[in-house]
């Protein structure tokens, strides 16, 4: 019964968090999961994203670097923006990414914990 209550409350929290965000995306690599959100709709230019990172369902304490890039296209050179995310505690990180044009941006999240294996999660953001 306690488990059911916990699941139910988690669902309510997940739904309300999803509604509060203008952008939301999930990605994972093995048991490391990341939940990416933005309070404002994602547009070309500077965007602030929050990253909630867990490994084996536990909040991750690590150095987190985000790389956003777009390969060269006809008439456009390759674009890249790499930033170190700020830790907000309890597995939550924040970073401002400059997505200079509309299109599909490849996103790589580099996670370097104080001990244990480094990991990299790949995803993409369309705008
Ligand atoms: Cu482009």
pLDDT tens column, 19-34: 668 999 999 999 999 9
Q: What is the pLDDT of residue 17?
A: 58
The answer to the question of residue 106 being in a domain is yes
The answer to the question of residue 8 being in a domain is no
Q: How far is the CA of 88 from the centre of ligand 1 (A)?
A: 31
Q: How far is the CA of 70 from the centre of ligand 1 (A)?
A: 6
The answer to the question of residue 79 being in a domain is yes
* 5 pLDDT more than 80: no
**Spatial CA neighbour of 43 closest among 95, 108, 109, 103:** 103
The answer to the question of residue 39 being in a domain is yes
Which 3 state secondary structure label does DSSP give 16?
helix
* 86 pLDDT more than 60: yes
**H or E element: which one contains 10?**
helix 2-20
Q: How far is the CA of 45 from the centre of ligand 1 (A)?
A: 13
Q: How many domains does one find in the chain?
A: 1
The whole domain housing 27 covers 23-126
Q: What is the pLDDT of residue 114?
A: 86
Q: What is the pLDDT of residue 8?
A: 62
Average pLDDT over residues 41-45: 94
The answer to the question of residue 111 being in a domain is yes
The answer to the question of residue 14 being in a domain is no
- Residue 53 belongs to a domain with what CATH number? 2.60.40.1930
pTM of the model: 0.82
The answer to the question of residue 3 being in a domain is no
Residues 6 or more apart from 64 whose CB is under 8 A from it?
51, 53, 84, 85, 87, 93, 95, 109, 110, 111, 112
Q: How far is the CA of 96 from the centre of ligand 1 (A)?
A: 19
The answer to the question of residue 114 being in a domain is yes
């Amino acid at each position: 019964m306690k488990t059911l209550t916990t699941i139910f409350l988690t669902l309510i929290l997940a739904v309300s968090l999803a509604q509060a965000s203008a952008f939301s995306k999930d990605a994972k690599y093995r048991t490391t999961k990341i939940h990416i959100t933005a309070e404002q709709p994602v547009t070309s230019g500077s965007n602030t994203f929050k990253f909630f990172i867990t490994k084996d369902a536990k909040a991750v304490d690590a150095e987190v670097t985000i790389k956003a890039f777009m390969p060269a296209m006809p008439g456009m050179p390759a674009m890249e923006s790499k930033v170190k995310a700020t830790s907000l505690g309890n597995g939550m990180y924040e970073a401002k990414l400059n997505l200079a044009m509309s299109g599909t941006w490849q996103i790589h999240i580099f996670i370097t914990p104080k001990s244990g294996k480094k990991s990299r999660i790949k995803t993409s953001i369309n705008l």
